[in-house]
A and B are shown apart, each in its own frame.
Chain A
Amino acid sequence: QLQLQESGPGLVKPSETLSLTCIVSGGSFSSTRYYWGWLRQPPGKGLEWIGTIYYSGTTYYNVSLKGRLTISVDTSKNQFSLRLSSVSAADTAVYYCARHSRGAASLEAFDIWGQGTMVTVSS
């Protein structure tokens, strides 16, 4: 069955760039039926949608992060990536990648999630 797996450094210094990759396995990454998203959850807090990408490269960003955020896709490797620049302690969180469907809503609910990866911003 479809699986998503996040990877990347667990520790990033303030003002530097956070980079994560999500590898999609067990299913069709380039399907026209799905979008691929990033979300995060600070320790002990709720969930925040970061942004989403379609296999063609079309992106949808949370405006609160838009100036620092880049999401890209590599269909040859069945993966998509997140880059968040100028990080601070406020960016410390568990980062999840997830799939959502393309349907009646522009972006549907998130139906399959990765296990998440903890990223700490600290010097």
Chain B
Amino acid sequence: EIVLTQSPGTLSLSPGERATLSCRASQSVSSNFLAWYQQKPGQAPRLLIHDASSRATGIPDRFSGSGSGTDFTLIISRLEPEDFAVYYCQQYATSPLTFGPGTKVDIK
């Protein structure tokens, strides 16, 4: 099983600032089969990024993903008020599909 670790656990920032979220895998994620999701309280997760760097349909370009192998990054270039949420990474390279524990981005 691929174990995903996310850091930091919580990121306190102000609107307009840049957010950098990290996801590290216990073993290489083949073909960069890694996704990022955003989840707000009481809502289902929303797919932001797939294949490590491809934005999902309708996702603003302030969200970008990068990385390969075991180290992946989600960057939100300028935080909007609606971006304060929990972000999860997920690998779909091998079964079982696994998620990281999440990074909470809250308002400073």
Within 8 A of A (CB), among B1-44: 31, 33, 35, 37, 43-44
Q: Across the interface, do B96 and A64 meet the contact criterion of CB distance under 8 Å?
A: yes
Main secondary structure of the interface of A (DSSP, over half): loop
B44 touches A114 (CB 8 A): yes
Asked whether A109 lies within 8 Å of B96 as measured between CB atoms, the reply is no
Residues of A within 8 A of B100 (CB): 46
B33 near A63 with CB under 8 A, answer no
Closest residue on chain B to residue A49 by CB atoms: B97
Q: What's the A-B contact tally at a CB cutoff of 8 Å?
A: 63
For B92, the chain A residues whose CB sits under 8 A away are 100, 105-109
The answer to whether A110 and B31 have CB atoms under 8 Å apart is: no
Contact residues on B (Cβ < 8 Å of other chain), bracket: 20 to 34
CB pairs A–B below 8 angstroms (26 shown): A46-B88, A46-B100, A46-B102, A47-B37, A47-B88, A47-B90, A48-B99, A49-B97, A49-B98, A49-B99, A60-B95, A63-B95, A98-B44, A100-B92, A105-B33, A106-B92, A106-B95, A107-B92, A109-B35, A109-B47, A109-B50, A109-B51, A109-B92, A110-B35, A111-B50, A111-B57
A: which residues have CB within 8 A of B?
46-49, 60, 62-64, 96, 98, 100, 104-111, 113-116
A101 to B43, CA, bound (A): 21
* Interface hits, B64-108 → A, CB 8 Å: 88, 90, 92-93, 95-102
Known contacts A46-B102, A116-B44; A105/B93 CB under 8 A = yes
Q: 5 smallest A-B Cβ distances: which pairs?
A: A109-B35, A113-B44, A49-B97, A109-B50, A47-B99
